[in-house]
Amino acid sequence: MEQGASVWVVLVVALVAANLPYLSSRILLVGPRRDPKAAGWRLLELFLLALATLAIGFGLEARLGQRAPQGWEFYAAALALFVTLGFPGFVWRYLRRSRSKVREFDDEEAA
């Protein structure tokens, strides 16, 4: 796999992984179902999936050649990018209103 394809693979993996904690109500994505799942579990899943994404990126980088050493700035930027990529899942989970709640709200106003 060439370098450009590796970058896209890591970005797609990061996009999917950053949104998984918000799309699943299972603990650590495979455990028992908790509805609603506590924010602490979602943050733990987000952190573990960020580590998994970094591991995939490091593996692809090592496969292409010598892995470059990274400073704290790289990890801070990678975490910020990962959290930003997870924003669509956050919006879907916490900020959208279901149609039934919208109807209930509209019905209360009409009365």
pLDDT band at 101 (very low <50, low <70, confident <90, very high): low
Asked if 26 contacts 33 with a C-beta cutoff of 8 angstroms, the reply is yes
Q: What pTM value is reported for the model?
A: 0.80
- Report the percent of the chain where pLDDT is more than 70: 86
**Amino acid at position 12, single letter:** V
The predicted-structure confidence for 30-82, as pLDDT tens digits, reads as follows 888 887 888 899 999 999 999 999 999 999 999 998 888 899 999 999 999 99
What pLDDT does 36 receive?
83
| Distance in angstroms (rounded) separating the CA atoms of residues 45 and 53 | 12
Which residues sit opposite 26 in a β-bridge?
Answer: 33
